[in-house]
Amino acid sequence: MPYSSKTILVDFIRHGEPHGGDILRGRIDPELTELGWSQMRAATNFSDDFISSELTPSWTKIITSPLKRCSDFARRVAEEIELEPDVNSDWQEIDYGDWDGMPMSEWRIEAADQFKAFRKDLSALAPPNGENYLTFKGRILQAYDLLSQEIDDSHILVVTHGGVLRVVLPNILGMPFNKSFPLHIPFASFSRIKISVADEISSASLIFHNAAEHPTR
């Protein structure tokens, strides 16, 4: 049987600042602020009037969470580079249930016991009337695994959420999922991975992380 291999680049960008202030956002659906739009344009090297530059990657596919803080930007980029975005609910944020929309100061108190237990047991994080962490992790890793099925030399942009990246990046780096807190993932954090597939066995490496704050690349 002949040897086969392919390489796929995947850029992950977290949404920029949404409306609503310092609240917990899961499935609630605020739009981006003007600052949020600016953060994402800067991270991807688009001008204020959405003209791409020589530093803007030449994506072959755009995948986005359906939530507005992701999909509005993804649709605008797709329009500029003449692609049809793949709006995929598997890439949306965890459902925080009763916690969703709660002020962060209140949520840190409300969720403290669960997060203390989570540091020892992944199953301990289960937002009331929401999505438990193990289900969330399984959903994201399944969506991530499908990226390796893209064709050779694909360059994909995935527009998604901070919680999602705290599953994807530790998975690539071999970090414990419940100890990802040292990873800095601000609004419009921009990261790139390379997926290598050889004889149907895939591996991945992190090329850079949080380039939104270091836009020369």
- Could you read off the pLDDT of 133-179 as tens digits, one per residue? 999 999 999 999 999 999 999 999 999 999 999 999 999 999 999 99
**CATH number of the domain that residue 82 is part of:** 3.40.50.1240
List, for residues 119-134, the tens digit of each pLDDT value.
999 999 999 999 999 9
Stretch 10-21: mean pLDDT: 98
User: Would strands 201-208 and 155-160 be described as parallel, antiparallel, or unpaired?
Assistant: unpaired
pLDDT above 60 (res 201): yes
Model pTM score: 0.95
Residue 212 to residue 45: CA distance in whole angstroms: 9
Give yes or no for a contact between 160 and 21, defined as CB atoms under 8 angstroms apart. no
Please give the full DSSP string across 172-202, using - where no structure is assigned. Answer: HHT--GGG-TTS---TT-EEEEEEEEETTEE
pLDDT digits (tens, 9 = 90+) for 38-97: 999 999 999 999 999 899 999 999 999 999 999 999 999 999 999 999 999 999 999 999
Distance of alpha carbon 91 from alpha carbon 89, whole angstroms: 5
**Environment class of residue 132 by beta-carbon count within 10 Å: exposed (0-12), middle (13-18) or buried (19+)?**
middle
Number of domains in the chain: 1
Average pLDDT, rounded, for the chain: 95
Q: Is the pLDDT reported for residue 214 higher than 70?
A: no
Tally Cβ neighbours within 10 Å of residue 68: 16
Task: Provide the domain limits for residue 87.
Answer: 5-213
Beta-carbon contacts of residue 158 (< 8 Å; ≥ 6 apart): 10, 11, 12, 13, 63, 64, 91, 147
Encoding tokens for residue 187?
């609004």
